[in-house]
């Protein structure tokens, strides 16, 4: 028995497929179009940084909290990033209260890898006392409304929040406040694989039609910094390379929005 | 724009009348006073006071025509999702297509869509469905559209006027389920027009002149089709 | 709390310049979430909360369903970034208690018997917290329930009264909550523009019986003003053509 499913989304699965066969998406977008993206930063004053991103009706808020802590033994000269995602029940009829499930964990880890592997945050500048005290950067992703593609909304919100984060050195009496050093703009692009079709920025109807997707994150130089194939399906090489090229292109477009943050 | 002059919006707990005899649907009585039960439009006449809901989940009533999706097949019938907190159950005896030689899942299987009627509801809200009515059938083609169940009366229209409009002007078959699911079948582009019209009705349900606007809309879009 | 002498009332005014019976600025926006059946975003001072209602809907697991009435669930949750020192995600004891008393306030006014064997879920997320987040959440929850079309006897409006420097003040902010002598959160059941009864009551600190009576009257006056804003926010949503308007009141 399905848990709190949306019967209408369920029924529309065939309709989504039918439209795709006609070369159309149900909301009229091109296969590689994003819905409208809005980014608002600095909404949570108590956080060191914050951003609310909406992609279509999907809304995610990310808050950045920082505090001093011990460095990892093998990297005494680097700060630490910790990323967590809460897919709270408020955001969807299918989210239940409780500890993060595998989707929540996957989302947090993919967003984290994009930021970490692109070295977007210069962790070497987050040392207070080498070997003893470094800055811990908590990236907390809080889903508010799941209308598809929480992944890209979360990753945009994370980097937008980081871009507007101030390190609270004064509060912890370790110096003067300074802006968090962000030197790259990783952008993720999620493509839903529905049968033989690949659509960028899936809306909820499309996510319901197929659980299979692939997320590719690139940095400002178009290098690939994170990839996640999600779902039990087999993907051909040609399809993968097509998706990769589209993802690089779309990431470049979305990166322009970040430049205005 | 909602016309508030004739139908003001009321909130739960607003006092509507002090005569319990006029209490209609959407109201409750306490200490001889009639209050609004939920958010809605107040419809007040000399003889009755009722609140028309703006939102709310579908709660089945006996006699309702509903569209549902089969979720489970059992030995004596099918469990059907009717877009409600309550599931429906269709006994094998209530499906005219069932024959002694057939097994339940030969007739209806999981994910099949049916048009059925609510036959009985017991005090524990166990809902029994029937397909023994000429409106009822398994739906194997066409499109299902989902809307806020509170807007269904508007999609039907006064004395079925909206449905009649779609049938005559666009030649489609249409069945409107009380539970917010609507089945439409016909030429694909005409079904698209019906779908768009339904979404307009859903968002403008309680405004004036809606019937005229929809008639105009249908006429215009049909004209565009023929122009192609 | 209050190890050092902090003066909370200076020259007859509170630290943030408010009069004793002034509410903090309140903003409300109804229907802000697409997936939820009803929703409300609310700001009360620096509190920023969002409430969502789902239901009536099926209860899972089934054995938790009640054969004669709907089961109400209320989950108060604070986002990790909502407070100065990051809070670990997940419910802590404080959240569990707040969820319980808030749920009970709502259970008292929702017509549960209309929906046997079903569930009505209220989820409230605190995105930023600043004293009185539980009252802000309950106000948002009440509006979200109305927005979802859930049948109720009336509405709930909530506000706290604190005693600071021997003076009673309405809608305490953080310093007043931390260093004050008492903190009393209230929630009232309001029907037809009148406060009928108390739906939630807690207390922390010490007051005399007479002080409590004064606090109650002050809270009632404050709650009525909040109720007016809740009504306005809801009606505004359905009056405007396009998006919901923000109902901003000082």
Kindly provide the ipTM of the predicted complex, given to two decimals. Answer: 0.91
Any domain includes A13: no
More confident residue, C12 or C231: C231
Nearest to B2 by CA among B40, B37, B35, B38: B40
* Tens digit of each residue's pLDDT (9 = 90 or more) over C35-90: 999 999 999 999 999 999 998 999 988 899 999 999 999 999 999 999 999 999 99
Whether residue C244 has pLDDT greater than 50? no
C238 and B54 in contact by Cβ < 8 A? yes
Report pLDDT for A7.
82
Comparing CA positions, the residue from B121, B139, B118, B143 lying closest to residue B129 is B118
pLDDT at A125 over 80: yes
For A76-80, A147-151, B114-118, C236-240, which range has the lowest pLDDT when averaged over its residues?
Answer: C236-240
One of 2.40.50.100, 2.60.120.200, 2.60.40.10, 2.40.50.140 is the CATH number of B65-139, namely 2.40.50.140
Examine domains B9-53 and B65-139 and report if their fold is the same: yes
Contact status of A40 with chain C (Cβ, < 8 Å):
no
Its CATH class, for the domain covering B9-53, is: mainly beta
Percent of chain C residues past pLDDT 70, beyond the cut: 94
User: Which residue ranges form the domains of chain C, and what is each CATH number?
Assistant: 17-238 (3.30.230.70)
- C-alpha torsion C174→C177→C183→C188, nearest 10: 0
pLDDT at C2 over 80: no
**Euclidean distance between CA atoms A9 and A207, whole angstroms:** 9
Does the beta-carbon distance from B85 to C146 stay under 8 Å? no
- By C-alpha distance, the chain B residue nearest A1 is B71
pLDDT of C133 > 90? The answer is yes
Evaluate if residue C249 carries a pLDDT over 90: no
Domain membership of residue A7 (yes or no) is no
Identify which of B37, B40, B150 has the shortest CB distance to residue C111. B37
Instruction: Please list every residue in chain B whose beta carbon sits closer than 8 Å to the beta carbon of residue A15.
Output: 143-144
Establish if B37 touches chain C: CB-CB under 8 angstroms: yes
pLDDT value at A8 more than 60: yes
Over residues A187-225, the pLDDT tens digits come to 999 999 999 999 999 999 999 999 999 999 999 999 999
- For residues C242, A61, A4, B191, the Cα torsion angle rounded to the nearest 10 degrees is 40
Range in A12-26, A216-230, C127-141 the model is least confident about: A12-26
Q: Per residue in C140-188, pLDDT tens? A: 999 999 999 999 999 999 999 999 999 999 999 999 999 999 999 999 9
Segment holding A160, helix H or strand E: helix A150-163
pLDDT for the residue numbered C6: 76
H helices present in chain B, as ranges: 104-107, 152-156, 161-170, 188-203, 210-227
Interface probe for A, chosen from C79, C92, C119, C246 (most Cβ of A below 10 Å), is: C79
Tokens of A168: 């609270």
For residue A91, being part of any structural domain is answered with yes
Determine whether the interchain pair B69/A12 forms a contact, defined as Cβ–Cβ distance below 8 Å: no
Q: Is B83 on the interface with A (CB under 8 A)?
A: yes
Cβ-based contacts of C192 with chain B (< 8 Å): 13-15, 35
| Residue B4 at interface with chain C, using a CB cutoff of 8 Å | yes
Q: Which structural domain, as residue segments, surrounds residue A173?
A: 18-259
Q: What is the pLDDT of residue C4?
A: 55
Domain boundaries, chain B: 9-53, 65-139, 143-227
Q: Is residue A27 part of a domain?
A: yes
The mean pLDDT of C109-138, rounded to a whole number, is 97
Distances (CA, A) of A223 to A184, A190, A215, A258: 11, 16, 14, 17
Q: Left (φ > 0), alpha (ψ -120 to 50) or beta: where does A229 sit?
A: beta
**Residue A39 maps to a domain:** yes
| Overall number of domains in chain A | 1
Give the chains touching B; criterion: ≥3 Cβ pairs < 8 Å: A, C
How far apart CA B55 and CA B36 sit, in angstroms, is 14
Specify the fold of B143-227: Ribosomal Protein S8; Chain: A, domain 1 (3.30.1370)
Check: pTM over 0.90? Answer yes or no. Answer: yes
SS3 A187: strand
The pLDDT of residue A30: 97
Hey, what's the torsion of the CAs at C242, C244, C245, C250, to 10 degrees? 180
Interchain contact, B81 vs A7, CB within 8 Å? yes
Query: How confident is the model over A64-72, as a mean pLDDT?
Result: 97
A155 is a domain residue: yes
Q: What average pLDDT is seen over chain A?
A: 95
pLDDT of the residue at A4: 40
A128: CATH: 3.30.230.70
Residues 31-50, chain C, touching B (beta carbon < 8 A): 37-38
Find chain B residues with C-beta within 8 A of A2's C-beta.
71, 81
Q: Which residues of chain B have pLDDT under 50?
A: 1
State the average pLDDT for chain C: 92
Q: Give a yes or no: residue A183 inside a domain.
A: yes
Straight-line distance from the first to the last Cα atom of chain C, in angstroms, rounded to the nearest whole number: 30
């Amino acid at each position: 028995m399905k848990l709190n499913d949306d019967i209408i989304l369920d029924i529309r699965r065939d309709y989504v497929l039918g439209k795709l066969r006609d070369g159309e998406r149900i909301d009229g977008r091109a296969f590689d179009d994003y819905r409208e993206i809005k980014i608002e930063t600095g909404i949570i004053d108590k956080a060191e940084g914050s951003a609310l991103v909406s992609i279509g009706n999907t809304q995610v808020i990310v808050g950045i909290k920082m505090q001093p802590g011990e460095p990892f033994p093998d990297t005494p000269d680097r700060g630490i990033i910790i990323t967590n995602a809460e897919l709270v029940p408020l955001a969807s009829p299918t989210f239940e209260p409780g500890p993060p499930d595998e989707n929540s964990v996957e989302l947090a880890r993919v967003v984290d890898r994009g930021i970490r592997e692109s070295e977007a945050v210069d962790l070497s500048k987050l040392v207070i006392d080498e070997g003893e005290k470094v800055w811990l950067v908590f990236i907390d992703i809080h889903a508010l409304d799941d209308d598809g593609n929480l992944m890209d909304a979360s990753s945009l919100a994370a980097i937008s929040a980081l871009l507007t984060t101030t390190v609270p050195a004064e509060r912890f009496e370790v110096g003067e406040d300074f802006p968090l050093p962000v030197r790259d703009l990783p952008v993720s692009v999620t493509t839903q694989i529905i049968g033989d079709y690949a659509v960028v920025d899936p809306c909820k109807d499309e996510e319901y039609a197929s659980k299979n997707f692939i997320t590719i994150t690139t940095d400002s130089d178009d290098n690939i910094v994170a990839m996640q194939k999600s779902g039990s399906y087999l993907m051909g090489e040609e399809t993968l390379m097509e998706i990769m090229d589209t993802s690089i292109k779309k990431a470049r477009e979305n990166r322009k929005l970040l430049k205005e943050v | 724009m909602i016309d508030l002059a004739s139908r003001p919006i009321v909130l739960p707990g607003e006092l509507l009348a002090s005569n319990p005899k006029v209490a209609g649907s959407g109201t409750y009585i306490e200490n001889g006073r009639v209050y609004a039960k939920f958010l809605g439009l107040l419809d007040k006449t000399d003889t009755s006071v009722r609140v028309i809901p703006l939102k709310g989940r579908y709660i089945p009533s006996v006699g309702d025509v509903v569209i549902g999706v089969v979720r489970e097949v059992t030995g004596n019938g099918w469990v059907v999702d009717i877009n409600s907190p309550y599931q429906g159950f269709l006994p094998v005896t209530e499906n005219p297509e069932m024959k002694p030689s057939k097994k339940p899942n030969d007739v209806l299987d999981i994910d099949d869509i049916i048009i059925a009627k609510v036959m009985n509801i017991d005090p524990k809200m166990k809902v029994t469905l029937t397909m023994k009515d000429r409106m009822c059938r398994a739906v194997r083609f066409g499109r299902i559209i989902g809307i806020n169940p509170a807007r269904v009366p508007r999609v039907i229209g006064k004395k079925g006027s909206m449905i009649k409009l779609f049938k005559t002007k666009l030649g489609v078959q249409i069945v409107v389920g009380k539970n917010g699911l609507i089945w439409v079948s016909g030429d694909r582009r005409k079904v698209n027009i019906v779908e768009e019209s339904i979404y307009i009705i859903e968002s403008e349900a309680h405004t004036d002149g809606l019937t005229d606007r929809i008639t105009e809309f249908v006429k215009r879009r049909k004209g565009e089709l023929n122009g192609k | 709390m209050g190890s050092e002498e902090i003066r909370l009332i200076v020259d007859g005014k509170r630290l943030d310049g408010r009069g004793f019976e002034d509410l903090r600025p309140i903003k409300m926006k109804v229907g802000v979430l697409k997936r939820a059946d009803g929703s409300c975003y609310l700001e009360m001072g620096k509190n920023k909360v969002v409430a969502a209602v789902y239901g009536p809907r099926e209860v899972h697991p089934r054995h938790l369903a009640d054969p004669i009435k709907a089961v109400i669930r209320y989950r108060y949750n604070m986002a990790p970034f909502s407070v100065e020192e990051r809070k670990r995600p997940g419910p802590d004891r404080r959240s569990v208690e707040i969820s319980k008393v808030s749920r009970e306030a709502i259970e008292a006014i929702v017509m549960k018997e209309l929906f046997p064997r079903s569930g009505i879920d209220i989820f409230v997320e605190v995105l930023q917290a600043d004293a009185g987040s539980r009252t802000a959440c309950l106000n948002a929850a009440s509006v979200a329930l109305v927005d979802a079309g859930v049948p109720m006897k009336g509405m709930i409006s909530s506000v706290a009264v604190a005693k600071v420097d021997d003076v009673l003040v309405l809608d305490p902010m953080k310093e007043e909550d931390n260093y004050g002598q008492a903190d009393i959160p209230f929630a009232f059941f309001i029907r037809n523009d009148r406060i009928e009864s108390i739906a939630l009551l807690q207390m922390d600190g010490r007051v005399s019986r007479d002080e409590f009576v004064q606090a109650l009257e002050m809270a009632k006056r404050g709650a009525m003003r909040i109720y007016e804003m809740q009504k306005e926010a809801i009606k505004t949503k359905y009056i405007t053509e396009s998006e919901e308007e923000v109902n901003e009141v000082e």
